[in-house]
Each structure stands twice: as structure tokens, then as C-alpha cells.
A and B are shown apart, each in its own frame.
Chain A
Amino acid sequence: MIAIDVKNLTKKFDQFVAVDDISFQVEKGGIFAFLGPNGAGKSTVIKMMTTILYPTDGSIFINNYNIHNEKSEVRKSIGVIFQDHTLDDELTAYENLYYHSALYKIPERIRREKIDDMLHYVGLLDRKNDLVRTFSGGMKRRIEIARGLLHSPTILFLDEPTLGLDVQTRAFLWNYIKKINEEQGITIFFTTHNMEEVENIATKIAIIDKGRILSQGTSKEIKKATKTKTLENAFLTLTGYGIREQSADK
């Protein structure tokens, strides 16, 4: 079963081609990593798959729903954790999750219990009535994970989820992601430029640079194809040694 099916996807911003005719598939229950340097087009692809950015060309099917004309079905079936924090700082952790549960129409009779369960899983139940602005970056990320999974999505998108997190929170996050993948069969799609995370977590990898997929497969397959011993060497062989300009928007 295919959870994500992307064909000939292109995104242009005026004359700049951010994503250039890429295709890939993610199997249901898989953990797929998009690995690329800064400005490679990773976030642009994730934004298009999560329906908040319109593709210039190509097709995207999420759980067999077309993102062009079945947006609502796509949105119901996915959870998203964006690169930047997307919580309302002026609300408490509970209120952030409560509004999310209302937007996703989780039945009112189970809302409170479900929110408490999710906050318990991420270890923040005792802080549920505190304003989010009093939380550290790692705590905010844990709330976002709880929120992203609250409506029981079948696919979870994470855009550079460990950026700026300490080692403990990173370990917590990936252990939790692996657990929900194994126990609940949730398909995981994440972007990163951290090789270690990719080696440890992903079942399949695509290396992207300048909007194009340069190689895809398992870590072993990519190393074999590039005749390198480590994923980092494979990555450098494919993308080169030039330092990239960071772009927050693309």
C-alpha cells in the first residue's frame, strides 16, 4: 500500500525553481527521510504535501487523496510538525490542544481524556495549565508532537523536528516516533540534514539538493550506488562540498 505518491512535482517562485520535477513514493507504515542541505527544497515539498503551498506542476496523492481537490480528506488524515513552532504562546498547553481537537472535530466527550493522555505520553501533563510562552523549545516541541498525533493521523510529517533541541529531547522524540510507527503503523515522513538521525530512524531515504532528488533507496543502496562507506560520504559525493545559503522560506 502506498501512503504518499508524488509524481513530477515542480514548484517555481517566479523564475526560481525550488522543486524541480521530483517523484517518489512512501509505503504505508514506512519511515521516509528527506535528506538535503540548507535551501535544498525540503520544506517546500513538505508544505505542498500538507496542502499549504500550491504546486506549480505535478501530482501528489496522500492516502490516495488528491491534494488538488480532496484537501479536506488529506488534512484529516495527516499530522504535521513544522520546522518553526506553531503553538499559540498566549494559550496554555491544554488550550492549544483543545482548539486543535475542536478543529479536527474530535468528539467532545473524549476530548479532555484524549488531551490528558497525549500530554501524559509527552511528559507534560503536570504543566497542562501553564502558558506555552513559559515553555522551553524542547517542551514546545513535545506539545507539538502531542498535538500532531491528537486526531490519530495515519501519516505524520515532521519538518526538521530536532532543530535546536538538546540531546535528551532529541532522543525522546525519536524513541517516541519509532514507537508510534511500530505500534500504530503510522507512516512517518521527515526532513533533516542530520545523517545520524537518518541512519538510525529511516527505512528509506531520498537525498535532495537544488530541488532535485539525486538518489533514493535504503541507506545501504545509496552507499552502494555512490561507492562510499558512510551515508555522510555518499551525501557529500552527491551534493558536493560547497556551503549553501540558508533560506527560511523555501
Chain B
Amino acid sequence: MNSALVVMWHRQIKSYFRNRQRLAVTLVQPSLFLIAFRFGIGGMFEQSGRGNYIQFLIPGIVGMTILMSSTMGGMSLIWDKQFGFLKETLVAPVSRTSLLFGRCLGGATTSFVQGLIVLFLGFSMGFRIINWGLFPLALIVMFTIALLFNLLGTSIASKFDDMHSFPAIMNFMVMPMIFISGALFPTDGFPPVIKFLVKINPFTYCNHLLKYSMGSAALHSILLDIAVIVIIVSILGSLGTYFFNKMET
């Protein structure tokens, strides 16, 4: 272990899995969503002839789990600011870019694992992968979504010091992203204004690609999803690097 990227990745994973309470808490919310939506609107969905709701819902819940956990990954940066460990890393003779990506890859790994746990929970509720040939793509998409939203959370966290306002701001951003992405219910009945918001919501494309890779029919070309995700990861990577290089403490 010599590169700062590996050091930070390793440390993020170790810290996360050492705290079992945190691990349990992060799985409670997606599980509640899963149960509430399955039994809340599952019947209506199936009665309207849209097919099996579990097949529709599980990829969405997996994506939602990863999205929520990843954006909150920025919280670890705020903790490190508050409790001092950030200074130890900023004063080390390593590039700030490797610190950023090490953190985000560590956070992405833990979010990915949470997504997998929820996926297995989905299997126990009857969800089935339609095309196993596409499953490796699903895993890649899950990890890429985790990296994307870790970069978003960490970039925003680099500009914040307050550990109370950060979760509130992230929730303010994340919840609408989930609800207007098509993750939990279809968006085709939305009014035009909301449909426009669906189109400019980055999570729409993450969710569409994830659903496709787990067996749902494509509503548009997946090349569009891949292009949007690659562009956003590049932008957030550059922005995060810029913020990290300018960071003072």
C-alpha cells in the first residue's frame, strides 16, 4: 500500500465496516421504501397492466440506496474536517487529486456493497434477473453511480463545514432526484414541466441504465445514458479536484 489513493480507499472502507451501527442504519431506509412501495402501490401498478412491480421496483431501490449512501459519503469529509483527520491528509506530500479519488472510490465501494445487499433482499422478495449476460453491466453501472454521487457529495462537502446543514442540503437535492427519475414509479403520466425536470435529472439516466441492465426494456438508447454518466463523472471529477486543490483548513 503506497499510493495515497489506495490508502484513502482502504481507510474509508475500514472505517465504514468497523461501525456496524452505521452499516445497519444505512440499510433501514431503502428497506422501508422497498416494503412501503411494494405493498403501497404495487397492486395499482400491476392492475394497470404495467407488469410485475417487483421487477420494476428493485433496480430503482438498488439505485436509490446507492444514490443516498453515496451523496452522504461527503459527510465523512465534514467529519474529518470537524475532528481533524483532514489536516493530517492535507499536510501529507501527496496529490489532492489522489486524496479525492481515494475517498470517493472508498465511499463508492461501501455504497456498492449496500446496493448489493438490497439487491439480494430483492431476490428474496421475488425479483429475478432476466438476462444474466447483462448482469456484469449492472454491477459496473452500480459502481459508476456510486462513484458519481460520491464525487458530487464530496465536492459539495469540500465547501461546507457545518455537519448539520450538509445532510439537510443533500436530502433537499436527493429526494426530488429519486422521485422524478422513474426509479420508484413510471414518469410517463407527469405534466410537461415535471417531464422536463425528469430529462435534466442525472439520476434518470443512471436509473434507466440500471433497469435496462437488470432486464427492463429500454425507453431510449442506453448510449445516451452512458454519455450522460461519463460526462457528469468527468465534470464532477474536475470540479472536485479543483475544490480539493483550493481547500484550506
Contact = CB atoms under 8 A, between A and B. Distances in A.
Given A84-B84, A85-B84, A90-B19, A76 B93 contact: yes
Contact of B14 (A47, A78, A91, A147): A91
B43 to A, nearest CB: 44
A103 B92 contact: yes
Contact of A108 (B2, B10, B85, B92): B2
Interface stretch (A23-31, A48-56, A114-122, A183-191): A48-56
Nearest to A79: B91
Interface stretch (A34-42, A94-102, A171-179, A238-246): A94-102
Contacts of A100: 88, 92
B199 interface: no
A47 B248 CA distance: 9
B2 A82 contact: no
Interface centre among A52, A82, A95, A103 (most CB of B within 10 A): A103
A77 to B, nearest CB: 9
A103 B98 CA distance: 11
Given A52-B90, A76-B93, A90-B19, A103 B248 contact: no
Contacts of B94: 103
Interface of B is mostly: helix
B7 A87 contact: no
Interface string B185-206: 0000000000000000000000
Interface string B33-74: 000000000000000000000000000000000000000000
B234 interface: no
Interface residues of B, number: 26
B75 interface: no
A248 B87 CA distance: 15
B172 interface: no
A72 B92 CA distance: 8
Contact of B248 (A54, A90, A147): A54
A86 interface: yes
Contacts of B2: 102, 105, 108
A88 interface: yes
B83 A89 contact: yes
Contacts of B10: 99
Nearest to A89: B83
Interface in B1-51: 1-2, 4, 6-7, 10-11, 14-15, 18-19
Interface in A122-166: 147
B131 to A, nearest CB: 41
Interface centre among A51, A54, A90, A108 (most CB of B within 10 A): A90
Contact of B87 (A52, A73, A99, A105): A52
B92 A75 contact: yes
Nearest to A98: B1
B37 to A, nearest CB: 34
Contacts of B92: 75, 100, 103-104
Interface in B81-132: 83-94
Contacts of B6: 102
Given A52-B249, A53-B248, A103-B7, A88 B93 contact: no
A38 to B, nearest CB: 19
A89 B6 CA distance: 20
Contacts of A89: 83
Interface string A224-236: 0000000000000
Given A87-B84, A103-B92, A95 B14 contact: yes
Interface of B: 1-2, 4, 6-7, 10-11, 14-15, 18-19, 80, 83-94, 248-249
20 contacts: A52-B90, A52-B248, A52-B249, A53-B248, A72-B93, A78-B91, A82-B87, A85-B84, A86-B85, A86-B86, A86-B87, A87-B85, A87-B88, A88-B83, A90-B14, A90-B18, A99-B7, A103-B92, A104-B92, A108-B1
Interface of A: 47, 50-54, 71-73, 75-76, 78, 80, 82, 84-91, 95, 99-100, 102-105, 108, 147
Closest 10 CB pairs of A and B: A86-B84, A75-B93, A103-B92, A76-B93, A86-B88, A72-B93, A102-B7, A88-B85, A90-B15, A86-B87
